Chains A and B, each alone.
Chain A
Amino acid sequence: MTKNLRIKSSEYIDETNRISFKFNGKTYHGFKGDTLASALLANDVHLVGRSFKYHRPRGIMTSGSEEPNAIVQVNPGTNRTEPNVRATEVEIYEGLEASSQNCWPSVEFDIGGINNFLSPFFPAGFYYKTFMWPASFWEKYEFFIRHSAGLGKSPTTTDPDIYDHRNVHCDVLVVGAGISGIMAAKNAAKNNFKTLLVEEKNELGGSTIYENNEFNKIDNKAPSEWLKKEIEELKNIKNLEIKTRTSVAAYHQYNYLLARENLTDHLEAKDKTNKIRQRLLKIRAKKVILATGALERPLIFNNNDRPGIMLSSAIKKYSEFYGVACGSKNVFFTNNDSAYESAMSLYNKGINVEAIIDIREQSESKIVKKVKEAGIKIYWSHSIVNTTGYKRLNSISIMKLSNDGTSVTGSKISISCDCLGVAGGWTPAVHLYTQSGSKLKFDEEKKVFLPNQNTSEQISVGSCGGDFKIDEIIKNLNQKLKDTLNINETDLDSIKVEIDQENSKRNIWLLPSDKPLGKTKPFVDYQNDATAKDIKLALREGFRSIEHVKRYTTTGMGTDQGKLGNMHALGIIADTAGVKMGELGTTTFRPPYTPLTFGTIVGRNVGKFFDIFRRTPMNDWHVENKAEFENVGQWKRAWYYPINGETMHQAVQRESKAARESAGILDASTLGKIDIQGSDASEFLNRVYTNAWSKLAIGKCRYGLMLNEDGMVYDDGVTTRLGENHYIMTTTTGGAANVLGKLEDYLQTEWPELDVYLTSVTDHYATASLCGPYSKKILKKIIPDLDLSDENFPHMSFKESKIGNIQCRIMRISFTGEHSYEINVQASYGKDLWEKCIEAGKEFNITPYGTETMHLLRAEKGFIIVGQDTDGTMTPIDLQMDWIVSKKKYDFIGKRSLYRSDTMREDRKQLVGLLTDDPNIVLEEGAQIVSELNQSPVEMLGHVTSSYFSPNLKKSIALAVVRGGKDMMGKKLFVPMENKNINVTVANPVFYDEKNERLNA
């Protein structure tokens, strides 16, 4: 039977609503309003996890998102399981299950605990030093290291939840709803600023809401009472939106912030279904007010990590807010006054406080006097030198601290206790502040890093801005609000504050023990098991940069990013190296502040919404006719159309034969189409293509090659002159957007004098490409009145016509080498056009073919595909396309580069055809080509770019780029493969119908 440590009821805990949950398989009870941590503490469970490296038993340390130890696996074994969740942030609900991580077989008996006793053998850099030799053993080491790495288990099944993204724009974003955040948001909204207030917890009010120091008063009320009234008033304020359970993860430049809004994690499983679990808010704020508060620092002393050792402020919150006593024999260890408030909180509720150990000489504040009056023993100038209790603290030993704070003297006093609250002062939570690019400055007096130089319109108010006393907070907040919002008066003007808070503090980063440092375990980073001696070792080994020490010792690199211990790490480094904290700088705080789930990051972009895809107007027909698809850019293109269980090879062979022997039809709608108009359109084309355009007659088409300014082939396609000042350009499918962008760039920036207008019309037209010896007859059936004679409608010409009532543009152009037509109609008639062609072509064995057959047919003709046979290093000369490069034109994009010494080298890689000596062997695309087999190392001459078995030639054909290939016609080369060497011969890349006789067939 576990103890019940629930004390006097709290207004935040609903004791009428009893909730049962499981932790490590055992059932416990808590109440609505509890976190997993508070509910476990109420059941006297401190031991919740094992540390990462030494597997030391660890307990709940904090009450918030800074928790380093109590990280648990929520709902293990279900599809909603999530690792590395902080027990201090999990709101309990009926049916919740959670388990400890990083322990086996159980948190009570963990075999990895042996590491603790072997710890002298695991110093900082252990892995780097140990697994170096012999180098060939790395693969064996890796298996074990990977096995022991990582915390928790990822879900193995699909996430059942929905995630969402939302863009948010506001005048003022206030981060954190403590006293400063609430007053900032209230005054901003009242002054007509559209304001958003976000708070990571489910309740507003921060720590003031459970403030219990009876000597502090705002307007003669207890601060908690006063603030509750202010919170109540927020409901009636317009322009103010409040989001709780919303944690800002990242603060980017120009006041762009990402926040995670948690919507269902606190609900029972049955209430989670079909709801958005988490929403990522993408916030652009005109002004940002950071009111993120401060995190209490622990103290660094020997064995400071045992279950039962907690932050003093956490003990106070558990007592005041959750109504839970964290122990029955409590001791506090402090360097400032705040532990006295926690002690009084317990005392006032009848909980036993054994003693307060204070490293200061003394303090005379009212709260200290109050503690004395209560009869609680205070040990001034004392420090804890050791603690005992493996799975739960059971005693501490203390000794007198020397004046300089570096050693302890006198006799050792042992105090029995089961809970120790440590209070090392406060660290402003400046994580988000620095993420925004703003710079910090070290305040030597307060021993904290404070905001110094803002990079955007932002202010830091309250304790994250360095104000720890309520009177300072109110006064400075008031002035900052007036300055930043440009207002003359606020609600804060008339507030009267009485306080008894003293900031006296004695700061010692590393507290001494009676044993030498090497024999002690003063943990600095609890989650990663980095101790003060690891940090000192790193310095002894020569590390100086804070960033290097961090990586070497892994300090601050856990899922908690070292929120508790980073300051001590810096302090110990500064003390050891003999430099000032300010000179040392800080490590970089990186987003996210607390971990985000992948679901939140991807939002709705999962499954078929993972990426945008585009479909042609004929897509439904392809689907109905069982086409296989391939992705080309964002397009889903029909790849091939298997019938009767054909393989891809069989289908492609059949389609290719039909296209040459009877008729084929290809969906070419994806080709990029750019409408070009303007009185300088011809001149513009002259400048962007390598060949000449001025003399192209209206109604004629021309193939063009476009280069980059470096002379390399960029894109190609056919452009048709529709009118005196009107052209339609086609581009490659994948290149469409980039070509338009490039042309716009030249028009706007280099040639603004040209009268040319570009419009992308890719989506406006559907294109069916009809080819083969019967293509003319099929077209004739569809458009009987159009004169298709070679005289009236020759190759490379264009006609405007009608199919029934539908306007169409027909280009007689060919990418297959066959007589063919590209028919363009308004996109919405695309499927109709396609079906008409299929219907009309039935008697001629019309065969739909996909991209694979298209590639094969054009390879038979030696036509290049930009991006397959070229790779950004091929000039038109390399491609043996000298014919398309105008010698007469004074200039075009890339012309000058064709005459650079490098582009004119004879031994560049050049496009050639390759024929295998055995016509049945099809080369692999990408295969390397060599001229010698018995040389080592052998020179790679080039590689295969396109390779197919041609059903029309009944042999294997390939295109390749080969160094100096132009002059190798007929030369024997080799393609060495894993198991054999393939003999090949360099050939003309035009394998089929070299005289182009079939174009007019």
Chain B
Amino acid sequence: MFLINCPYCGERDQQEFKAGGEAHIERPKQPTELSDDEWAEYLFMRKNIKGVQFERWNHAHGCRKWFNMVRDTSNDEIKAIYKMGEKPPSQ
């Protein structure tokens, strides 16, 4: 059970949060311009890294805010947490 440092509320138990998949996948501004393959790339393709992964998390049972997390999936170490719109920390 992680202890997650919500950037708005502080440290809270994992059960207050919802994981939201890979981070930094921007919704295309002009979807109609995209080929089927390009749209499918956005829609379906996600990484599943053993190691350092950038993820979206939501404080679903708290402030309801979304934020980003850098997590090592091999040992569940949370390396960084930052707000939506902020640049990911360089490795």
Contacts and interface: CB of A to CB of B under 8 A. Distances in A.
Contact of A256 (B3, B32, B56, B77): B3
B54 interface: no
A897 interface: yes
A899 B75 CA distance: 41
B31 A896 contact: yes
A253 interface: yes
Contacts of B85: 752
Given A710-B43, A749-B56, A253 B76 contact: yes
Nearest to B33: A896
Contacts of A897: 39, 43
A437 B64 CA distance: 30
Contacts of A256: 1, 3, 13
A709 interface: yes
Interface in A729-752: 741, 744-745, 748-750, 752
B43 A748 contact: no
Contacts, number: 58
A891 interface: yes
Given A710-B43, A741-B58, A901-B36, A748 B31 contact: no
B58 A252 contact: no
A745 B39 contact: no
B84 A749 contact: yes
B20 A745 contact: yes
Contacts of B80: none
Contact of A437 (B31, B40, B60, B76): B76
Interface in B64-91: 64-66, 75-77, 84-85
A890 interface: yes
A995 to B, nearest CB: 36
B14 to A, nearest CB: 8
Contacts of A284: 3, 13
B9 interface: no
A255 B34 CA distance: 47
B27 interface: yes
Contact of A890 (B1, B32, B76): B32
A748 B36 CA distance: 27
A437 B34 contact: no
Contacts of A437: 75-76
Contact of B32 (A710, A744, A750, A891): A891
Nearest to A901: B36
Nearest to B29: A891
A896 B60 contact: no
A742 to B, nearest CB: 11
A940 B3 CA distance: 49
A968 to B, nearest CB: 28
Contacts of A741: 18, 58, 60, 64
A455 interface: yes
Given A437-B75, A710-B43, A896 B32 contact: yes
Interface in B1-27: 1-3, 13, 18, 20, 26-27
Contacts of A252: 1
B84 A752 contact: yes
Contacts of A253: 1-2, 76
Contacts of A710: 43
B66 A896 contact: no
Interface residues of A, number: 25
Given A752-B85, A900-B36, A744 B64 contact: yes
Given A254-B1, A254-B3, A745 B32 contact: no
A671 to B, nearest CB: 21
Nearest to B74: A437
Contacts of B28: 896
A897 B56 CA distance: 23
Given A254-B1, A710-B43, A745 B58 contact: yes
Interface string A573-602: 000000000000000000000000000000
Contact of A748 (B30, B65, B75): B65
A895 interface: yes
A752 B73 CA distance: 29
Contacts of A752: 84-85
Contacts of A254: 1-3
A490 B66 CA distance: 45
Nearest to A750: B27
Most buried by A among B31, B34, B77, B84: B31
Contacts of A745: 20, 58, 66
B76 to A, nearest CB: 5
Nearest to A760: B64
Interface string A864-900: 0000000000000000000000000011000111011
Contacts of B40: 900
A389 B26 CA distance: 75
Contacts of A749: 56, 66, 84
Nearest to B39: A896
A805 B13 CA distance: 45
Contacts of B1: 252-254, 256
Contacts of B39: 896-897, 900
Contacts of B56: 749
Nearest to B26: A750
B65 A709 contact: no
A832 B65 CA distance: 37
A752 B26 CA distance: 12
Contacts of B65: 748
A519 to B, nearest CB: 47
A326 B76 CA distance: 48
Contacts of A750: 26-27
A152 to B, nearest CB: 31
Interface in A663-712: 709-710
B69 to A, nearest CB: 13
A719 to B, nearest CB: 21
A53 to B, nearest CB: 37
A886 B36 CA distance: 20
Contacts of A455: 75, 77
A901 B58 CA distance: 33
A440 to B, nearest CB: 15
Contacts of B64: 741, 744
A891 B65 CA distance: 25
Given A891-B32, A900-B39, A748 B3 contact: no
Contacts of A748: 65-66, 84
Given A741-B60, A896-B28, 9 more contacts: A256-B1, A455-B75, A709-B27, A745-B66, A748-B66, A750-B26, A750-B27, A897-B43, A900-B39
8 contacts: A253-B2, A254-B1, A255-B3, A256-B1, A741-B60, A750-B26, A896-B39, A897-B39
Interface of A: 252-256, 284, 437, 455, 709-710, 741, 744-745, 748-750, 752, 890-891, 895-897, 899-901
Interface of B: 1-3, 13, 18, 20, 26-28, 30-32, 34, 36, 39-40, 43, 56, 58, 60, 64-66, 75-77, 84-85
When A and B form their complex, which 10 residue pairs have the shortest distance between CB atoms, in order from nearest?
A896-B31, A254-B3, A256-B1, A748-B66, A750-B27, A252-B1, A253-B76, A896-B39, A749-B66, A900-B36
